[in-house]
Structure 1
Amino acid sequence: MKQSLVRLVRPRRPERDVAPLLPPLTLYKSILRAHIRYLPVEIRTLGDSYVKQEFRNHQKIDNPLHIVGFLTQWQDYLKAMEVGSWTEGRLTKQELEKMSPEQIGQLYELMQETKKIGEDN
């Protein structure tokens, strides 16, 4: 993900209710720091490996719309972590319908891994 592409798509002076997008590396580091502060030790490793894999998988994306969508969703996740609302997260039917089969499969795998962690404790 090239930072210059983010600047092309996102306005330099954002509206009041829209936070400017963080550059990919800054966002990545902020998420990992948030995991240290807000995630229980048992699931921190899972969260860190998931974030690392997602950023690695999207590293070579050059479509500006995909980059902005990716960064926006992760920035929303970071904000939810900081506010503490991540534990209350629920997907709506509309959000599920927008997901690709690969995303739904990934979500299912994530659910299975978190259940394993819960059973171990």
Structure 2
Amino acid sequence: MKNSHQPLYRATQTLLRARRANRPAQPLLPPIHLYRRILREHRNLPALQRELGDQYVKNEFRLHRSAENPLHIVGFLTSWQDYLRMITKGDWIDEAMSSEVLQKLSSDQVVQLYELMKETQQFRAGETPDGDNSDTKQ
């Protein structure tokens, strides 16, 4: 009976080592502390990014307040803690989304991401949301 658990134990240990190599072992912050630290870190962002980021963070934490699935909660907190680490180091400017993450997105999330991309491109081009060019206004 003891030998039947060996393969499972070795597989678990291998997965844990691989996960540790990819992500530094940090305990998850409690939701309220994580939420506050993210909003504090947003103070260092440019005004438009801060406004957008603050609204998004507040909305996401509000929507997930009543989550009961432990795996979902851990995934949520882990993702937001990774985000906090990214904006703290300043990596958010040139960060690209991996194809692995894109494949895990739902169709609604893909639509939201596409709409965000369109809005950002319009902003960079100097257009207002109405489609007018801000340079041509008198």
The answer to whether the 8 A contact 1:24-1:71 is kept is: yes
Amino acid at match of 1:81: I
TM-score by structure 2 length?
0.69
Structure of higher CA gyration radius: 2
The separation in 1 between residues aligned to 2:86 and 2:66, in whole angstroms, is 26
| Match in the other structure for 2:92 | 86
Structure 1's consecutive aligned runs of 4 or more residues displaced over 4 angstroms after TM superposition are none
Map Cα deviations across residues 38-63 of structure 1 (whole Å, 9 max, x no partner): x1112211111011111111111110
Question: In the alignment, which of 73, 83, 88 is matched to residue 77 of structure 1?
Answer: 83
Q: Percent identity?
A: 51
| Match in the other structure for 1:5 | none
| Match in the other structure for 1:67 | 73
The separation in 1 between residues aligned to 2:61 and 2:122, in whole angstroms, is 24
The separation in 2 between residues aligned to 1:114 and 1:63, in whole angstroms, is 34
TM-score by structure 1 length?
0.78
| Match in the other structure for 2:108 | 102
The separation in 2 between residues aligned to 1:43 and 1:26, in whole angstroms, is 21
CA-based RMSD: 2.0
Question: In the alignment, which of 49, 59, 62 is matched to residue 56 of structure 1?
Answer: 62
The structure showing larger relative contact order (alpha-carbon pairs under 8 Å, at least 6 residues apart) is 1
Which stretches in structure 1 are left out of the alignment for 5+ residues? 1-14
Question: In the alignment, which of 27, 31, 36 is matched to residue 34 of structure 2?
Answer: 27
The separation in 1 between residues aligned to 2:63 and 2:117, in whole angstroms, is 20
Map Cα deviations across residues 24-81 of structure 1 (whole Å, 9 max, x no partner): 01100100110002x1112211111011111111111110000000000000000001
The answer to whether the 8 A contact 1:43-1:117 is kept is: no
Which of the pair is proportionally richer in helix?
1
| Match in the other structure for 1:43 | 49
Change (3 A) 1:101 1:58: same
Which stretches in structure 2 are left out of the alignment for 5+ residues? 1-19, 128-133
